[in-house]
Amino acid sequence: GDKLSSFRGYLQSDGYAGYEQFSAHEGITRVGCMAHARRKFDEALNNHRAPALHVLSMMQRLYRLEHLMRFYKITAEKKVKLRKRLAVPILEEMFSWMNEQLKIVPPKSEIPAFSEDGNNQVSAQTLSFILQGIELSSVKKKKRFHFAA
């Protein structure tokens, strides 16, 4: 639409397939929303409790960091530095563990993040929030998408 014609930056959204069209726009990078990815692991607790809990605990560490930075009113510049130092290792551990799970979890798993053909909300693109100061989630904004230049 009009809003995207001149926009350049990151478009944070849930996994809705309708947002795929924005990936084709030059200068727009789509990034996932951790809250929407987290929901998939919550849903998997009944049938895949151990792996779902493992990922949820890593995600909780990321949310705790974000909460503390908001509580102490950390500047955007300092947030990026703290995220690089504290969140990147958590994300790398999570991605590494999830990639290992791809070898043992069936391809059509109920956990999309573990499925090779699933819409993986938790991807390497999520690291962009660390480098660009993007929030983990678009949910607090009460919309399905969020623009970050």
Residues in the chain, total: 149
Q: How many CB atoms are located within 10 Å of the residue 115 CB?
A: 16
- The reported pLDDT for the residue numbered 101 is 80
- The reported pLDDT for the residue numbered 92 is 85
The alpha carbon of 144 is separated from its chain's Cα centroid by a whole number of angstroms, namely 13
- The reported pLDDT for the residue numbered 118 is 42
pTM of the predicted structure, to 2 decimals: 0.73
Strand partners, 73: none
What distance, in Å, lies between the first and last C-alpha atoms of the chain? 17
13-18 own/partner pairs: CB under 8 Å, 24+ apart:
13/138, 13/144, 13/145, 13/146, 14/121, 14/138, 14/144, 14/145, 15/112, 15/119, 15/121, 16/144, 17/119
pLDDT at 86 over 90: yes
pLDDT at 38 over 90: no
Angle formed by the axes of helices 49-71 and 88-102, nearest 10° = 170
- The reported pLDDT for the residue numbered 98 is 82
